């Protein structure tokens, strides 16, 4: 019988979200032959956009920090900077917070020094504490080497492995920090509003990891023209240029010929077998455990991963205005029903913490004003419909979604009365929808980043397999990309890494 030669790849990357795309492109750019596997029918993961009635909506990428900073540096290294264009928010240019209990809006300026000054003036009794927070936040960001790729050269010369680094602030929670300063609940809520962007409440996240996310968001937040699709299109063009092979509807179904805790031979779900030197798993930790053979994972490892707690997910609502609204802002507004973020982010809390993104999008028929809103929810909110196949036909589930959407519309109209009666909802999704498409348990930010937690990151029990992605280092597009940069360095070594890092201007 004729034997078919196995196709060989240097690295197989599993999962084509932003972390998988980043990893595949970095490896291909230093000459590796790369295979990218995606279980869905198309690539992009949470970066994907979808259209309803011709209007594009974002799934899991609405805004970002890092332009002119760490994001720009990563885009330069990947050689896709020109394709990723920021759109800055309406003046004053930063995010906004709406406190429902007193019907009051706080509008942030775009830059953090202006924000610090504005908040110190607004809360004079806590002005010293506010200034201290901004000083400490900056200290943490600046003393985390990975947050500035220009540091990499110095780090590499010392032969160090790139990592977040460990600071004293990694061992205390954000809440402990606030307690030490003696801050009021309202000021804590204002200073930690971006906890909604990593999904771990102040009582559980380390002060430093919170600051690694919040520093950039306090210092310049923007949308991207064409949202996550801009990244997917830029990656797809590069994937053709560097011959990255992409297989959708495909994953690793078995790791074969395991020797010395290494597998260089993989059976894929499309029925083929391939050989490879390395595999990088850019997927949720629970999906990683499913791929690793039981013979290499012990009980303690499996239990550790099972015990990881997911962050909340979102109920998302996607709407357009039925007529042009003159004073339509382009911005991100956090809606807090009470000025207490820990309460809002805790499970079973009846209070609402919601993000409202108001944007303008281009369609074939001209520009439309778009409203996307996200309300934190947990899997148990929807547990009863989890295993139902055709949820679109389920009357109870659809009624639940309709009631939820009505509540969100009321909240949006409270924040922006000019939109009252002028919103048309084109789509809604629950945490179940996110789970169906992303195999993520529906969590918006993967697993919670608990103080002292040993994340699944880097080398796995199969020694030529690595974990990256939003659950491994820091959540959000930037955290997911950074995790791939670090493991890329580990796989290819400093010399090859330097050839790409040189691109940073
Ligand atoms: C509603 C929502 C809004 C958000 N808004 C923002 C935002 O505005 N800005 C921001 O920075 N971040 C935002 N985030 C978070 C951000 O989307 C994520 O942190 C980031 O995109 C995660 O990237 P990733 O590559 O780790 O994972 P994912 O994007 O989840 O990609 C994982 C991919 O792997 C695939 N996969 C899973 N299992 C397997 C398997 N076994 N085999 C093969 N493929 C598999 C999935 O289908 C998916 O394509 C948001 C998230 C949500 C849910």
pLDDT tens digits, one per residue of 103-148: 999 999 999 999 999 999 999 999 999 999 999 999 999 988 889 9
Determine the pLDDT at residue 156: 65
Distance between CA 494 and CA 483 in Å, rounded? Answer: 16
Atom of ligand 1 nearest to the CA of 43: 49
pLDDT per residue over 231-250, tens digit each? 999 999 999 999 999 999 99
Q: Which domains does the chain have, with CATH numbers?
A: 7-65+226-308+449-501 (3.50.50.60)
DSSP class of 162 = P
Tens-place pLDDT, residues 381-395: 999 999 998 999 999
In the reported structure, the alpha carbon of residue 59 is separated from the centroid of ligand 1 by a whole-number distance in angstroms of 9
Give the pLDDT confidence score for residue 25 in this predicted structure: 98
| 348 alpha carbon – ligand 1 mean position (Å) | 25
Query: 201-229 pLDDT, tens per residue?
Result: 999 999 999 999 999 999 999 999 999 99
Q: What is the mean pLDDT of residues 460-488?
A: 96
Q: What is the mean pLDDT of residues 435-447?
A: 92
19, 24, 36, 45: which to mutate for ligand 1, most atoms within 8 A of CB?
45
Whether residue 274 is predicted with pLDDT greater than 80 in this model: the reply is yes
pLDDT band at 342 (very low <50, low <70, confident <90, very high): confident
Averaged pLDDT, 432-460: 91
Phi, psi of 58 (to 5 degrees): -90, 150
C-alpha span between 496 and 29 (Å, rounded): 10
- Region 402-430: mean pLDDT is 97
What's the gap in Å between 131 CA and the centre of ligand 1?
A: 34
Q: What is the mean pLDDT of the chain?
A: 94
The pTM assigned to this predicted structure is 0.96
**Ligand 1 cavity residues, CB under 6 Å:** 14-20, 37-40, 45-47, 60-64, 251, 282-283, 287, 314, 316, 374, 434, 438-440, 444-445, 469-470, 475-477, 480
Q: How far is the CA of 60 from the centre of ligand 1 (A)?
A: 7
- pLDDT recorded at residue 393: 93
**Pair of tokens at residue 307:** 């015990």
- The average pLDDT across 414-423 equals 97
Residue nearest to atom 10 of ligand 1 (CA): 476
Read off the tokens for 268: 């894929």
Ligand 1 centroid vs 427 CA: distance in angstroms?
19
> Ligand 1: which residue has its CA nearest to atom 47?
438
Q: How far is the CA of 502 from the CAs of 122, 149, 238, 269, 420, in angstroms?
A: 44, 10, 19, 39, 52
pLDDT > 90? residue 346: no
Give the Å distance between the CA of 43 and the centre of ligand 1: 11
Q: Which of 12, 60, 282 to mutate to test the pocket of ligand 1 (most atoms within 8 A of CB)?
A: 60
Label residue 170 exposed, middle or buried (CB < 10 Å: 0-12, 13-18, 19+): middle
Atom of ligand 1 nearest to the CA of 18: 25
C-alpha of residue 467 to centroid of ligand 1, in Å: 14
Q: How far apart are CA 354 and CA 447, in angstroms?
A: 20
> Which residue is closest in CA terms to ligand 1's atom 31?
17
Nearest CA to ligand 1 atom 15: 476
pLDDT at position 3 is 63
Q: Quote the CA–CA distance of 191 and 213 in Å, as a whole number.
A: 12
What pLDDT, in 10s, does the model give residues 65-97? 999 999 999 999 999 999 999 999 999 999 999
Give pLDDT, residue 92. Answer: 93
What b/e readout covers 68-83, taking b as 16+ CB neighbours within 10 angstroms? ebbbbbbbbbbebbeb
CA atoms within 13 A of residue 37's CA, in its CB half-sphere? 23
Q: What percent of the chain lies above the pLDDT cut of 70? A: 97
Task: Convert the pLDDT of each residue in 154-167 to its tens digit.
Answer: 666 554 455 666 88
Average pLDDT over residues 297-324: 95
pLDDT of residue 151: 79
User: What is the average pLDDT across 175-180?
Assistant: 97
Residue from 40, 61, 227 to probe ligand 1 pocket by mutation (most atoms less than 8 Å from CB): 61
- Ligand 1 centroid from CA 302, angstroms: 22
**Is it the case that residue 493 has pLDDT exceeding 80?**
yes
């Amino acid at each position: 019988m004729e034997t078919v030669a196995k196709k060989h790849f240097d690295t197989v990357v599993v999962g084509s979200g932003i972390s998988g795309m980043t990893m595949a492109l970095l490896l291909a750019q230093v000459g590796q032959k790369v295979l990218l596997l995606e279980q869905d029918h198309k690539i992009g993961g949470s970066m994907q956009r979808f259209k309803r009635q011709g209007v594009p909506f974002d799934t899991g990428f609405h805004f970002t920090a890092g332009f002119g900073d760490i994001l720009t540096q990563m885009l330069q290294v990947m050689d896709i900077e020109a394709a990723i264009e920021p759109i800055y928010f309406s003046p004053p240019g930063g995010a906004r917070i709406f406190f429902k209990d007193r019907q009051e809006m706080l509008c942030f300026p775009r830059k953090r020094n202006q924000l610090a000054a504005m908040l110190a003036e607004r809360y004079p009794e806590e002005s010293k504490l506010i200034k201290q927070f901004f000083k400490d936040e900056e200290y943490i960001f600046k003393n985390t080497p990975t947050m500035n790729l220009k540091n990499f050269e110095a780090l590499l010369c010392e032969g160090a492995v790139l990592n977040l680094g460990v600071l004293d602030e990694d061992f205390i929670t954000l809440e402990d920090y606030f307690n030490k300063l003696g801050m009021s609940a309202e000021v804590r809520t204002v200073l930690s509003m971006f906890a909604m962007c990593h999904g771990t409440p102040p009582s559980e996240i380390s002060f430093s990891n919170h600051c690694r996310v919040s520093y950039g968001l306090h210092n310049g937040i923007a949308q991207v023209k064409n949202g996550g699709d801009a990244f997917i299109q830029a990656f797809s063009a590069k994937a053709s240029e560097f011959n990255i092979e992409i297989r959708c509807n495909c994953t690793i179904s078995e790791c074969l010929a395991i020797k010395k805790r290494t597998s260089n031979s993989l059976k894929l779900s499309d029925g083929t077998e391939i050989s490879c030197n390395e595999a990088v798993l850019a997927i949720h930790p629970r999906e990683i455990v499913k791929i690793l053979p039981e013979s290499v994972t012990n009980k303690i490892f499996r239990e550790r991963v099972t015990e990881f707690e997911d962050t909340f997910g979102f109920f998302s609502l996607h709407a357009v205005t039925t007529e042009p609204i003159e004073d339509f802002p382009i911005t991100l507004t956090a809606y807090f029903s009470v000025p207490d973020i820990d309460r809002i982010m805790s499970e079973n809390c009846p209070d609402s913490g919601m993000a409202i993104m108001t944007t303008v999008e281009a369609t074939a028929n001209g520009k439309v004003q778009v409203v996307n809103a996200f309300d934190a929810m947990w899997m148990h909110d929807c547990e009863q419909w989890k295993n139902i196949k055709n949820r679109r036909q389920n009357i109870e589930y659809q009624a639940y979604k309709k009631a939820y959407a009505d509540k969100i519309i009321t909240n949006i109209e409270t924040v922006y009365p000019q939109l009252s009666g002028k919103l048309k909802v084109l789509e809604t999704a629950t945490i179940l929808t996110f789970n169906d498409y992303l195999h993520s348990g529906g969590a918006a930010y993967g697993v919670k980043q608990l103080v002292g937690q040993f994340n699944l990151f880097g080398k796995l029990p199969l020694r030529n397999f690595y974990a990256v992605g939003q659950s491994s280092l820091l959540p959000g597009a930037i955290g997911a990309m950074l995790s791939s940069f670090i493991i890329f360095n580990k796989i290819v070594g400093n010399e090859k890494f330097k050839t790409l890092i040189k691109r940073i201007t």
